[in-house]
Amino acid sequence: MKLRYERELIVEYGKKLLSSGLTKGTGGNLSLYDADSGVCVISPSGIDYTEIQAHNVVLIDLEGTQIEGDGRPSSEVSMHTIFYKQRDDVRAVIHTHSPFATTLACLNWEMPAHHYLVALAGPNVRCAPYATFATEELAKAAFDYAIDRKAVFLQNHGMLACGGSMEEAFYIAEEIEFTAEVYWRSRAVGQPTVLAEDEVAKLADKFMGYAPLTDRRSR
């Protein structure tokens, strides 16, 4: 079986999406990119995360052609491959339907750096304009609004997080969901204080080398 380790990571982190509350049922999708072989390893479509096995996980090239795997690749293939084609710093992509990030996405809100952990993803988290799911338009919107960032909200849809490894992408997805909840709760009672740009830049520097963000790629 090609890229067994990477396929097993997809199985492992698919279950984590459910247990952490970042999605429900078969919602969302996740992938890894093996730059040495030019192969994207992506979750299969329509299979519950608790039932996915390594042989179901799909291997595709960056044009979406299936190489191996019993399942059908996620319908959001293009939203993953566009990052691997155009960003050398991205080796994992996670798309979630986490409730608070999705709430902000449905409001079409950008999330400023109201909490220091927002700096994990960038100076803020933008909201990409709405596009129908599983389309090139959605992929391009997600990519464009994630420039210089590692997370983006997808209007009326959910969130996308990315990183140099699956560990990093998942960590960012969890923390941005947490900060989205804090932002929503803060806005319910007032206007949260936003950190200054120079402080956010300082935080971004401090996060470099932090264990969950170390660039382990697929291993």
Give the CATH number for residue 22. 3.40.225.10
Of residues 8, 51, 63, 76, which has the active-site annotation? 76
- Count of domains in the chain? 1
Please indicate, yes or no, if residue 123 is contained in any of the structural domains: yes
pLDDT given for residue 65 in this prediction: 96
- Kindly give the confidence (pLDDT) of every residue in the chain, 219 residues in length, as a single tens digit, with 9 standing for 90 and above: 999 999 999 999 999 999 999 999 899 999 999 999 999 999 999 999 999 999 999 999 999 999 999 999 999 999 999 999 999 999 999 999 999 999 999 999 999 999 999 999 999 999 999 999 999 999 999 999 999 999 999 999 999 999 999 999 999 999 999 999 999 999 999 999 999 999 999 999 999 877 677 554 443
pLDDT given for residue 218 in this prediction: 40
pLDDT given for residue 208 in this prediction: 85
Cβ neighbors of 141 (< 8 A, separation 6 or more) are: 128, 129, 131, 154
Please indicate, yes or no, if residue 99 is contained in any of the structural domains: yes
Q: How far apart are CA 190 and CA 156, in angstroms?
A: 24
Pair 97, 79: CB distance under 8 Å: no
Q: How far apart are CA 3 and CA 25, in angstroms?
A: 26
Cα distances (Å, whole numbers) of residue 166 to 131, 133, 173, 182, 183: 26, 23, 10, 24, 25
Per the structure, the complete domain to which residue 103 belongs is given by 4-213
Please indicate, yes or no, if residue 172 is contained in any of the structural domains: yes
Which of left, alpha, beta for 16 (phi over 0: left; psi -120 to 50: alpha)? alpha
Please indicate, yes or no, if residue 187 is contained in any of the structural domains: yes
Q: What predicted TM-score, i.e. pTM, was given to this entire model?
A: 0.95
Please indicate, yes or no, if residue 218 is contained in any of the structural domains: no
Please indicate, yes or no, if residue 219 is contained in any of the structural domains: no
pLDDT given for residue 219 in this prediction: 35
Assess whether 76 carries a catalytic annotation: yes
Cα distances (Å, whole numbers) of residue 87 to 83, 109, 112, 148, 202: 5, 25, 23, 10, 23
pLDDT given for residue 211 in this prediction: 61
pLDDT given for residue 67 in this prediction: 97
